[in-house]
Amino acid sequence: MKNNFYDFLDSRKFIHQSTDEKQIKKLFKDKSCIGYIGFDCTSDSLHVGSLLPLMILRHFQKYGHKPLILLGGGTTLIGDPSGKDSTRKILSLEEISHNKKKLKLIFEKFVSFDPDLKNSALLVDNLDWLSKLNLIDFLREIGSKFSVNKMISLESSKLRLQREQNLSFLEFNYSILQAYDFLELHNKYNCSIQFGGSDQWGNIISGIELIKKVKDSQSYGLTTPLITTSTGNKMGKTADGAIWLSKDKLSVKDFWQYWRNTSDEDTIKFLLYFTDIKKEEVTEYQNSENDINKLKILLANEVTKLCHGEAESRKAENEAKVILSRGTIDSSVITNCQQKITIKKEKLNSGITIKQTLIDLRLTSSNGESKRLIVQGAVKINDKIINDKDHKLDIKMFKKIPNHNNSLYVIIYLGKKKYGIVELVS
């Protein structure tokens, strides 16, 4: 383990930009400091795009520093224009309140809020101070410190204006409010550094400059890189949608499988980014003759364990191992499989097509997609490839599982890594 938190971050490629490397190293070395990351409450879950900032807070606390998580209860009412082509949906206070409660459950998996810890994590909400601002006073005391010329040059504003896309006055104020958050946290908690994604660099700088102008005090910023896969795509964006950190929005099985499907080129990088495994151990894995698939399973297990707990991680691995490796199912797999449907014998006798079953299992999203994949030979029933787009489920395909009631089951595979189970009942 590196002695300085900055060196640790650098060794794992967490750093995209920092405002003053020398002074930040000094800040991390001299004493336990407070650093924060803000999360707006636009959803009741985070996705893997937020995983790197969460890992920074986790490691930050392990190094003895105090992580501060800022919930954007107030700024969510405005909407961050960064990376968006259009105005975000305006949420009600009730929706935001619901999202806050759900997000706290995610944060608790990455940092400790144990009050007995000297560096226990803090969770605060900017609605507490933004809702009390007086417009005239705020414009005079804070607004006067900002240059509109400079605000227009911020990446979030500049892109919208260049594309001639609407940038509302509401959103235009977002960077001022985020800067004010940093000032408020600096005043209340002596917070010295803000972490964030690379798209937040301009907003972080605005906060640092505001603190300097108002308090004549020094603060710092550090951003993480935009994570892309070896194919150049933004991480976490798939054809099936976002990879959520909450099992209410994405099953643990699918979450585990997402990491298991990591490309060979990205596996080591993701082990450094998204797990607690020491760099020396990762390097050993990299230099050894380990089967890359074993490393992918290690990655899937470790990330799933962080986000969903060890029991859920083992369950997901076991299900994938039993079905995909042996081509068989047992009672535990049936019980835990979330990609499962039940049909009655009389309905089977009336004729159920494979293409419709694929849709019902959420393996495909349309008849057309089902037909195309069947014709391409991507669909198997048990161990047999199905090429007929009008093929129907047949009673002969179903098998009885020992020690598991009187139902019959069939496995439908889509490609090498997706599958679903159909249960036949009387």
Q: Domain residues for 308?
A: 251-326
DSSP sequence for 169-225: HHHHTHHHHHHHHHHHHHHHH---EEEEEGGGHHHHHHHHHHHHHHH----EEEEEP
Q: Could you tell me if 13 and 150 lie in one domain?
A: yes
Number of H helices, E strands in the chain: 21, 14
Domain count along the chain: 3
- The DSSP bridge partners found for residue 418 are 414
Q: Could you tell me if 317 and 356 lie in one domain?
A: no
**Boundary (domain end) residue, out of 326, 354, 377:** 326
> Looking at the domain assignment, is residue 78 inside a domain?
yes
Q: Could you tell me if 144 and 270 lie in one domain?
A: no
Phi, psi dihedral angles at 78 (to 5 degrees): -95, -55
pLDDT tens across the length of the chain (426 residues): 457 899 999 999 999 999 999 999 999 987 789 999 999 899 999 999 899 999 999 999 999 999 999 999 998 887 765 555 445 577 888 999 999 999 999 999 999 999 999 999 999 999 999 999 999 999 999 999 998 888 887 766 777 676 667 677 777 788 899 999 999 999 999 999 999 999 899 899 999 999 999 999 999 999 999 888 777 777 766 655 789 999 999 889 889 988 988 888 999 999 999 999 999 999 888 887 778 888 999 999 999 999 999 999 998 888 777 666 555 666 666 666 667 888 888 788 778 899 899 998 888 888 889 999 999 888 988 778 888 888 888 888 888 776 666 678 888 888 866 788 888 887
Q: Could you tell me if 350 and 318 lie in one domain?
A: no
Domain holding 390: CATH number? 3.10.290.10
Domain holding 13: CATH number? 3.40.50.620
Q: Could you tell me if 197 and 63 lie in one domain?
A: yes
Q: Could you tell me if 104 and 207 lie in one domain?
A: yes
The pLDDT, as a whole number, for residue 329 is 61
- Dihedral Cα 149, 151, 154, 157, nearest 10 deg: -100
Q: Could you tell me if 151 and 51 lie in one domain?
A: yes
The amino acid sitting at 383 is D
> Looking at the domain assignment, is residue 242 inside a domain?
no
**Boundary (domain end) residue, out of 265, 291, 326:** 326
The pLDDT, as a whole number, for residue 51 is 94
The pLDDT, as a whole number, for residue 424 is 84
The pLDDT, as a whole number, for residue 420 is 85
The pLDDT, as a whole number, for residue 86 is 47
**Boundary (domain end) residue, out of 189, 224, 259:** 224
Distance CA 95, CA 407 (A): 42
Q: Say if strands 237-238 and 399-400 run parallel, antiparallel, or are unpaired.
A: unpaired
> Looking at the domain assignment, is residue 212 inside a domain?
yes
Distance CA 195, CA 193 (A): 7
Whether the CB-CB separation of 361 and 412 falls below 8 Å is answered with: yes
Q: Could you tell me if 212 and 307 lie in one domain?
A: no
Q: Could you tell me if 190 and 153 lie in one domain?
A: yes
Burial class of residue 314 (count of CB atoms within 10 Å of its CB; 0-12, 13-18, 19+): middle
Q: Could you tell me if 320 and 172 lie in one domain?
A: no
- The DSSP bridge partners found for residue 424 are 343, 408
> Looking at the domain assignment, is residue 238 inside a domain?
no
Q: Could you tell me if 78 and 108 lie in one domain?
A: yes
